[in-house]
């Protein structure tokens, strides 16, 4: 989607460093971290939220992406959060998993 900030980041338009990348996923640091480590894991494909997901393989890949990120960063204890819908706190409508570790202040 042309006006989606996460699509632009995933496309490399801002030269955002990726913590992790596969054919289907990217992970990068949250711009406003709520913990010592705050990484966002998302599909490259634009999907608004968990409500729009119909691809179980993609969901599995996202969770494996979370594991790859935590292993790469050496995180043994971490929290994962998916906000779905505005009332639940979703601000960016491109599906993403928050991975937080160390001094977590919440998302």
Q: So which residues are the catalytic ones? A: 96
- Among positions 36-95, residues that touch ligand 5GP (CB under 6 A) are 83, 89-92
Determine the longest span between alpha carbons in the chain, in angstroms: 37
Among 1, 37, 107, 4, CA closest to 27: 37
Interface residue with ligand 5GP, options 30, 50, 53, 59 (CB under 6 A):
30
> Rounded to the nearest 5°, which phi and psi values hold at 33?
-65, 135
- Give the pair of three-digit tokens for residue 43: 């599909």
Q: What mask of x and - would describe binding to Zn ion in positions 3 to 42, judged by CB under 5 A? A: -x-xx-----------------------------------
Which residue bears the tokens 């570790």? 101
Binding residues (CB under 6 A) for ligand 5GP: these are: 5, 28-32, 83, 89-92, 107
Binding residues (CB under 5 A) for Zn ion: these are: 1, 4, 6-7, 46, 94
């Amino acid at each position: 989607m042309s006006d989606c900030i996460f699509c632009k980041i995933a496309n490399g338009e801002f030269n955002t460093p990726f913590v992790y990348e596969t054919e289907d996923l990217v992970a990068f640091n949250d711009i406003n971290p709520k913990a010592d480590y705050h990484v966002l894991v998302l599909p490259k494909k634009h999907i608004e939220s968990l409500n729009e997901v119909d691809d179980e393989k993609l969901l599995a890949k996202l969770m494996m992406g979370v594991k790859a990120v935590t292993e790469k960063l050496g995180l043994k204890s971490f929290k994962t959060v998916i906000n779905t819908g505005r009332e639940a706190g979703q601000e960016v409508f491109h599906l993403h998993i928050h991975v937080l570790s160390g001094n977590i202040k919440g998302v």
